[in-house]
A = this chain, B = another copy of it.
């Protein structure tokens, strides 16, 4: 979506969960997971018995600069060893069967991960191997399962995409960005007085050029124009441009 950001500013965030990749197969995917972790503010990466050994150059080449996460990754022989110092473990799992266990959505898990982190406890999220996912013994090591509500007609989720969803939800669980806002940069949203001032200007010019000469229809036409310009937020800068547009159009009509 955009070029590298370097990743030089990447650092652990207090209370963030550990990502545990269990028996990952492809180093490319480990790199892509590191990149997704970086996007969502996660830093600590643990690898349980990576199939092709570790380190692997391919991981760094596919991490788009999230090198620090890979540099700091640790390798573990068993899942038990990888989670020994954690207080809570969540296991991502697309289709659990015959297991009695709490199941969370990614969003629900993110809220619990935030709560666990805020208590000063360490949490980890397990992701299984690309092909088979976590096995039953892996899942038995977890407090709860995480299952993404996604299209049941197509559940095959790329490993890095699964990490992305968890990292994204974890980041958003503490994010207060308004779902919609108007970006105005140097300018600002216009006041109603400024909008009114423009509408007065516009209507005067429309009267001047004869556009509103049909007197019975005039009130409705003026109202429709007012509705249009009041529909959404307009900025002070845009109003200045619109004043200019009206002035110049009227001037062109008058003389040349």
- Report which A residues bind B (CB closer than 8 A): 1-5, 7, 9-11, 32, 35-36, 38-41, 64-66, 92, 94-105, 107-108, 111-112, 127-128, 130-133, 144-145, 148-151, 153-162, 164-165, 168, 171-172, 175, 177-187, 232-233, 235, 237-238
Contacts and interface: CB of A to CB of B under 8 A. Distances in A.
A102 B180 contact: yes
Contact of A154 (B38, B145, B232): B38
Given A100-B183, A101-B182, A102-B181, A156 B40 contact: no
Given A2-B133, A94-B2, A161-B39, A107 B154 contact: no
A232 B2 CA distance: 45
Contacts of A160: 158, 161
Contacts of A175: 149
A22 B41 CA distance: 28
B100 A151 contact: no
B150 A9 contact: no
